[in-house]
Structure 1
Amino acid sequence: MIQSTAQFFTKIMQRWLPNAFLFALILTLVVLVAGILGQDKSAEQMAGYWGGGIWNLLTFSMQVLLTLVAGHVVAQAPLVKRMLRALAGVAHTPGRAIVLMTLVAMFCCWLNWGFGLIASALLAREIARNVEGVHYPLLVASAYSGMLIWHAGLSGSIPLKIAETGEDTVSAVMAGQIIPVSETIFSWPVLVIVGVLWASLPLINRLMHPAPSDTYCVDAKQLEDQKVIAPSIKSLPPAERLEHNTLMPLLLVALGGYYLVNFFIQGGAIGLNTINLILLLVGLALHKTSVNYLAAMDEAVRGTSGIVLQFPLYAGIMGMMVESGLAASISQWFVSISTAETFPLFTFLSAGIVNFFVPSGGGQWAVQGPIVMPAAEALGVPLNEAAMAVAFGDAWTNMVQPFWALPLLAIAGLGIKDIMGYCTVVLLWSGMVICVGMLVFF
């Protein structure tokens, strides 16, 4: 049944799903029309909201891009690649390959979504080279399914934002209240939901594997990495020798490490900026020389072109959603039908809908936080539970929102249509698990 369902959705996506950029343009048009018809705004007003919002995510965009690029650089390090190659050797059959891919992807994305996306894509390539008969689109979809739990992990932007202090954080939504990660990421209800997904999703993905006659296997030669011949250091001029020297990068790693140790000793909290600094320093330590690090960085940046292009578009969509009142109307409608018992569930569902139009955890929190948190306080719902309901909703519909799949697909060499049918099945299953969790544990 699961295999047939996956094939059904795959055929639909292959026929009807546009590319990610066109998807963003369609969403822009949908929000424009909805604002005019549903919020009684003029076309001129909606255009103003779009233009006024298009650059509002520049700071957060840079933070997110640094997370993605720095995570990519770490995943490209020779040591990490050897570890991925050794992991790929554990899978000897297509079924084991899918299970292994899912487990590793979820673990890596829980650690850091940027690192997880890239490491999963690289592992998918390694597995495809080593395991005969594995269905490559499902393998890549399994790699992307790890993003399902990123917002309940160490790089989740909402739990990290509300754990930070400072005027520029979204914690201002809660009148300065700070919620530590011990009450969000590491709370037992969140850990239970993540644990159930971790145990069940590999089996769901495994059951979607098609019959051998319908399996698409990629040519292993297409996945070979380009071999770079290192020059002889002695033959290089002094400036280039310095570029291949390990001393200066290690001094910077030592400086950054010293700062981070003092930062955490003095009570500093984990946030997007500290995560990015850690990734930058780890990548530099693993690549050892500045020339190797910059080469990896250059390759990583090239994989972000689609995201760079789409961030302003989604910022414009967010501007229309917020200024027209559409986002508030969606959130307030779900709040209006909620009780203290159903509030987390309806908040989760509303966040899943809003995520289609604002596929950024921090951006979505800026939209929904001012509505969700006061309502939770009025109903007597713990604020940490309300925040994590938004976080789970944001991560949930990423399964069928192509925005964050772009860098993974660029490395894997596939299109969004190839994996989205399988991701739809993941969406349905995980939606049931999280909904039950919201009702039982929240």
Structure 2
Amino acid sequence: MSEPPETPMTAAAPATDGRLARIALRFTEWAERWFPDAFVFVALAVVVVAAAVLANGAPVASVAKSFGDGFWTLIPFTMQMVFVTIGGYVVATSAPMQRLIDRLALIPKSGRGAIGLIAIATMLSSLLSWGLSLIFGGLLTRAVARRTELRMDYRAGGAAAYLGLGATWAMGLSSSSAQLQANPASLPPGLLPITGVIPFSQTIFLWQSMLIAAILVVVSTVIAVASAPGRDSAVTAQDMGIDPAREDDALPPRTQPGEWLEHAPLLTVLIGLLAAGWLVQEFARQPWMIAISNLNTYNFLFLMAGLVLHWRPKRFLNALARSVPATAGILIQYPFYAAIAAMMTTARSADGSTLSDVIAHAFVSLNTAETFPITMGVYSAILGFFIPSGGGKWLLEAPYVMQAANDLQVHLGWAVQIYNASEALPNLINPFWMLPLLGILGLKARDIVGFSFLQLIVHLPLVLFLLWALAFTLPYTPPVMP
């Protein structure tokens, strides 16, 4: 796939475009000129956190040691995130899913209608899997872009395809913090006495949580459609020098006898039966909410589904090979985020405090039950920009924010959902989780962040208000031990 041109492609919005479309194009023009590559953000985060740790009194040698010692500490979690992307990719690129995507792409009658379809499809799919949402949304955007008669703005389509990660994913089944809290075996021993076990029924399946998710789907779709440039100002994939044609996945004819097993479904059937047998046992021995909360089980399910849906091993291997470039950003950046977390929690000043300790003390001392949802929401959103890991960041925040929730008698499950809803907000402008989608679309973060920044302007006050208002409908209950 060809790289998009480096020069700005933003056209002046004609008078026929609405105010939101003109604002989005101005944001996009600014981003095209000034928004750096995603790696620059993680590099800046390293420098900022290191400076803050030094300002807290930690010795230079201690900061450097924590940086190096922490660099590789999240490798298992990094690989789990890589496999979430790969699993979503192999499922989304299978022939049955491609047929579904092609049928969906025929529905829109206009470019803006296509933007609305992409937004709804990606947000709903994100409630099942953020990995599936990214890949499904990217492939749907490319499929719609092939309909040149619609003149859909490709950048706005990419921003709509990213709404699952920026708006709703953390309110669904792939919420890392909700998964961790529902499974006591996944929780650090020191955290369990503070939070207890919090089942999905007290987090993502609260009616208050589902109400927020529904509101975000509606509001995000309206903004996406209203801010999309019209036909006269739309910049299509073709205008950007990008060919959205479907990648040729036809298998070449067999030329050697040894290739027979690569093209035959025999191995797929046998492995699929083994996988199904294991999954049946996993879901039979425990509630499905607990089973699906294990990321290894979650990834196994998607990988095996992808193998069966591709049917022939060679097609599955081809899909795996195509998915790898989409994981490059995760592989190189996650170790840096692990190092940031280590600097915050292990580099100590002369009095023995860490930067995390200082933040925790300030957080608890400045809160009341009424201000807790707003304070925690703003704090989680800001920290999420520097540490974009729903699960890893939760393990950093949970000890002190959940202790504060206990002290202030805030519903513990709602505290998790405050984290979830607010933690997703910085994703709208943080390019880290855009990387797999950008790899599929052939775009850069600067191409879509103007549209997603407009979403953030609306989401931030809306989400914080809903988190604050709905908190009063939930009574406090003490931690429940397993």
Name the residue aligned to 2:20. Answer: 2
- Is 2:251 aligned against 1:230? yes
- Is 2:112 aligned against 1:95? yes
Structure-to-structure mapping, 1:135-146, within 5 angstroms: 135-146=153-164
- Is 2:133 aligned against 1:116? yes
Name the residue aligned to 1:214. Answer: 233
Question: Quick one: distance in 2 between partners of 1:427 and 1:312?
Answer: 27
What amino acid does structure 2 have at the position aligned with 1:249? T
Question: Quick one: distance in 2 between partners of 1:216 and 1:311?
Answer: 33
Give the C-alpha shift of residue 328 in structure 1. 4.2
Question: Quick one: distance in 1 between partners of 2:36 and 2:274?
Answer: 47
* More off after superposition, 114-123 vs 223-232: 223-232
Question: Quick one: distance in 1 between partners of 2:43 and 2:209?
Answer: 34
Question: Quick one: distance in 2 between partners of 1:424 and 1:216?
Answer: 18
Give the C-alpha shift of residue 88 in structure 1. 0.8
Name the residue aligned to 2:46. Answer: 28
Contact 1:331 1:347 in 2 (8 A): no
Contact 2:111 2:231 in 1 (8 A): no
Structure-to-structure mapping, 1:380-391, within 5 angstroms: 380-391=409-420
Name the residue aligned to 1:152. Answer: 171
- Classify 1:228/1:153 alpha carbon distance in 2 versus 1 (closer, same or farther; 3 Å): closer
Name the residue aligned to 1:423. Answer: 452
Q: 2:206 aligns with which of 162, 172, 187?
A: 187
Name the residue aligned to 1:254. Answer: 273
Question: Quick one: distance in 1 between partners of 2:123 and 2:230?
Answer: 25
Q: TM-score, normalised by structure 1?
A: 0.95
Give the C-alpha shift of residue 248 in structure 1. 1.7
Name the residue aligned to 1:308. Answer: 331
Question: Quick one: distance in 1 between partners of 2:250 and 2:83?
Answer: 28
Give the C-alpha shift of residue 358 in structure 1. 1.1
Give the C-alpha shift of residue 276 in structure 1. 0.7
Name the residue aligned to 1:346. Answer: 375
Question: Quick one: distance in 2 between partners of 1:35 and 1:282?
Answer: 45
Question: Quick one: distance in 2 between partners of 1:400 and 1:115?
Answer: 20
What amino acid does structure 2 have at the position aligned with 1:194? A
Question: Quick one: distance in 2 between partners of 1:232 and 1:136?
Answer: 35
User: Size of the alignment, in residue pairs?
Assistant: 438
Question: Quick one: distance in 1 between partners of 2:339 and 2:345?
Answer: 10
Indicate the SS of the match to 2:150: coil
- Is 2:62 aligned against 1:41? no
Give the C-alpha shift of residue 303 in structure 1. 1.6
- Classify 1:171/1:161 alpha carbon distance in 2 versus 1 (closer, same or farther; 3 Å): farther
What amino acid does structure 1 have at the position aligned with 2:213? V
Question: Quick one: distance in 2 between partners of 1:137 and 1:336?
Answer: 44
What are the Cα deviations for residues 63-102 of structure 1, in whole angstroms up to 9, with x where unaligned? 1111111111101101101100100110110111111110
- Is 2:76 aligned against 1:59? yes
* More off after superposition, 259-268 vs 193-202: 259-268
Contact 2:177 2:390 in 1 (8 A): yes
Question: Quick one: distance in 2 between partners of 1:425 and 1:18?
Answer: 18
Name the residue aligned to 1:435. Answer: 464
Task: Give the unaligned 5+ runs of structure 1.
Answer: none
* More off after superposition, 411-420 vs 241-250: 241-250
- Classify 1:10/1:248 alpha carbon distance in 2 versus 1 (closer, same or farther; 3 Å): same
Give the C-alpha shift of residue 329 in structure 1. 3.4
- Classify 1:409/1:194 alpha carbon distance in 2 versus 1 (closer, same or farther; 3 Å): same
What amino acid does structure 2 have at the position aligned with 1:353? I
Give the C-alpha shift of residue 331 in structure 1. 4.7
Q: TM-score, normalised by structure 2?
A: 0.87
Identity of aligned residues (%): 33
Name the residue aligned to 1:401. Answer: 430
Name the residue aligned to 2:6. Answer: none
Give the C-alpha shift of residue 187 in structure 1. 0.7
Question: Quick one: distance in 1 between partners of 2:431 and 2:360?
Answer: 23
What amino acid does structure 2 have at the position aligned with 1:45? S
Question: Quick one: distance in 2 between partners of 1:243 and 1:55?
Answer: 36
- Is 2:86 aligned against 1:69? yes
* More off after superposition, 86-95 vs 331-340: 331-340
- Is 2:346 aligned against 1:323? yes
What are the Cα deviations for residues 412-435 of structure 1, in whole angstroms up to 9, with x where unaligned? 011011111111111121112211
- Classify 1:98/1:327 alpha carbon distance in 2 versus 1 (closer, same or farther; 3 Å): farther
Aligned CA RMSD, in angstroms, stands at: 1.8
Give the C-alpha shift of residue 7 in structure 1. 2.7
- Classify 1:174/1:348 alpha carbon distance in 2 versus 1 (closer, same or farther; 3 Å): farther
Give the C-alpha shift of residue 109 in structure 1. 1.1
What amino acid does structure 2 have at the position aligned with 1:258? G
Question: Quick one: distance in 2 between partners of 1:151 and 1:104?
Answer: 16
Question: Quick one: distance in 2 between partners of 1:334 and 1:165?
Answer: 26
Question: Quick one: distance in 2 between partners of 1:15 and 1:94?
Answer: 26
Question: Quick one: distance in 1 between partners of 2:357 and 2:119?
Answer: 36
- Is 2:86 aligned against 1:50? no
- Classify 1:170/1:432 alpha carbon distance in 2 versus 1 (closer, same or farther; 3 Å): farther
